[in-house]
Amino acid sequence: MSDLRIGLLQCGHLHTDLQPDYGDYPEIFSALLGSHGVEIATWDVTSGPPPDATDACDGWLVSGSARSTYDPLPWIPPVEQFLRDVVADQAPLVAICFGHQLLAQAHGGRVARAGAGWGVGAHEYHFLTAEGWMEPPHEAPIRLVASHQDQVVELPDGAQVIARTDHCPIAAYTLGPAALAIQPHPEFSTAVSRDLIERRRELIGAERSDDALASLDRPLDQAIVAAWIASFLRDTAR
């Protein structure tokens, strides 16, 4: 039985040829968080408006996207405004990858191409603080899948970095008391990551693709971060 109804702002779609095996973002996030009592309600903000009110759900998730936050797309400014409203109202929010970037951009931060190039495959994320919602505690680096060309290069005022890697110095941050942003994809399994890398091989480059595929031989920490996300949403829910 779910006890949290979380609204997913869907900012993109998984490749259509992968959806028969994995579903799209709503199904992937449901698989990640469903066992933690989280029910997902979806707003596809690329084809329709954002929600009417920040309290329409118990909290919010923002998905990844193949687009860049600075692309001149008509749906991006309304989503930015909704994110500003969510933060102002202190509604629970977890923003992933593109969402992580868009949240920063919406509040005056800056997003740009990563100087180190594509971040793909499994990376080790070093968390710099031990927050109350980080249950179960985990002192070792967290292994999660990355899949991004862009990243946050300047944080908005009031944001605090809470995780980093050498490739991505702003890998996770908080903004106010109820917004958490994570650059990697806790919702992506090694299988999803492997298939995405294979489909983007020409774009990513052969050498980096091979290195990324090799990184997927070790387990990920999806289960730990899923528990953290659910705990964060629950702790900050009104």
Active-site residues, by number, are: 97, 185, 187
Please name every residue paired with 206 in a beta bridge, in sequence order, or none if there are none: none
Angle at 235 between CA 43 and CA 129, to 5 degrees: 105
Calculate the CA dihedral of residues 6, 235, 32, 139 and round it to 10 degrees: 160
Looking at the chain, which runs of residues are DSSP E strands?
A: 4-10, 38-44, 59-62, 93-96, 110-113, 119-127, 142-148, 150-154, 159-164, 172-175, 179-182
The closest alpha carbon to 104, from 9, 185, 181, belongs to 181
